[in-house]
């Protein structure tokens, strides 16, 4: 959630800065439209870069969680097999002593 909040804050700040900057500039209409177009492209590029960084961060987190899960599964499987072997050995011993 924290990364998402930061991303939204950055994007909101950039958008607000673009609008205020263009509206307060003392240019004629055609120049203002050119500025809007240019700043719109910059905003799009910034949004794209921010989104790519955010998705990379998420992908890295998913990869880390997957690796940790695989380690936990391997450890649990190993412990299960150890305990199963102990149980089977104990049952073999008890069966031999009962006969």
Q: H helices of the chain, where? A: 2-24, 29-98
Segment 38-92, tens digit of pLDDT: 888 888 898 899 889 989 999 999 999 999 999 999 999 999 999 999 998 888 8
pLDDT greater than 60 at residue 1: no
Total number of domains constituting the chain: 1
14-41 CB burial, b ≥16 within 10 A, e <16? beeebeeebeeeeeeeeeeeeeeeebee
State the Cα–Cα distance between residues 53 and 13, nearest whole angstrom: 18
pTM for this model (two decimals) = 0.48
* Chain mean position to CA 57: 4
Structural domain including 43 reads: 2-98
State the number of CA atoms in the 13 A half-sphere of 64 facing the CB. 6
């Amino acid at each position: 959630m924290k990364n998402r909040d930061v991303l939204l804050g950055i994007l909101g700040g950039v958008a607000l800065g673009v609008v205020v900057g263009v509206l307060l500039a003392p240019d004629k209409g055609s120049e203002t439209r050119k500025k809007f177009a240019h700043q719109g492209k910059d905003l799009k590029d910034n949004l794209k870069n921010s989104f790519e960084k955010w998705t990379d961060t998420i992908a890295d987190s998913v990869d880390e969680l997957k690796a940790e899960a695989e380690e936990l599964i391997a450890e649990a499987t190993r412990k299960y097999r150890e305990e199963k072997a102990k149980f089977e050995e104990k049952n073999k011993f008890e069966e031999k002593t009962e006969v």
